[in-house]
Structure 1
């Protein structure tokens, strides 16, 4: 039996200290080796609680933010999830351990292909990837039980939110003046119940598919 990675133990302690309480979320993070998702040159920082650069000018999010966003989704093993922004695939992999199926859209082909190779290495078979324009969501697969955006929308992303089932939950960073605010939206009978969770900093949500990367 292999010994636990002391770096992972330290990360888990940091997440608990940062207010992450969902045992299922913590378990998914413990089973997902973050070093697999970061460029080799950052391997010594892979388990630090901080964002790191990846290809195509993007980042892998701070683990504490990943954990809080995942916890706020209130996932169960029946959840059908839409993720906008596959990125490194780290958030996707954690979602896949908690949900029935994850549909993940990435605008950069390079990132999408790298993420897919990581999913295969981890034998995660319930992820459906797509290269395309995340600003339009994935209407052919709608409706979704849960939606998560890993890039900041300039306004409330109604085109994407409209793909939620009644009662469904979406977590999205949204620009608010000089701040970015992590928002939780729940679909109710006459629209959306919205509440602020915390200030965050994400790369912007960009329209279209990147043609050359």
Structure 2
């Protein structure tokens, strides 16, 4: 059973997320919080597997709560809840090691899939979320960031770069494999190798690096 904490200062949002998640037979919402401080304390007390944190919360915002959980319990996977207008904060969260992010209007099936992926140790970046991140990156001055990203990916082989470009599109291992005619297991092996070479904690960070470098499939 996947143990989940939901943290959002809006009761209706929490209730909706809880209703969706508990419809899955392998997910249990064991704690709810209306602010970031309580979210950290409850996540540690209830030994949760996945924490869903809203970015904008009183007492302690989602990014600060993410940082505290990273120090106190790095095994807890954190998914960030956000709205369209908070993309800059989302980029910060992903670069700080968050397991992924979800828009608050995410479809129920995608929410459940994201929690399952995070609990399995995978990062989750939905295609919709990827497009929002790409929009943010395109609007930022990115010369120095792009140069650094290109320097880092220069260590990859051509096939590794192909796989990284697909990560940048937010594709799953299975979808990436279909695109480049590889088995899902082979793609998984490539992803592990890419993360090690790029010194990325998860595939979301690798996807952002692909975007910074201007990789396209």
Tell me whether the two structures share a fold, i.e. TM-score over 0.5: no
* Structure with more of its chain in helix, by fraction: 2
Whichever of the two has the greater Rg, that structure is 2
TM-score by length of 1: 0.30
TM-score by length of 2: 0.30
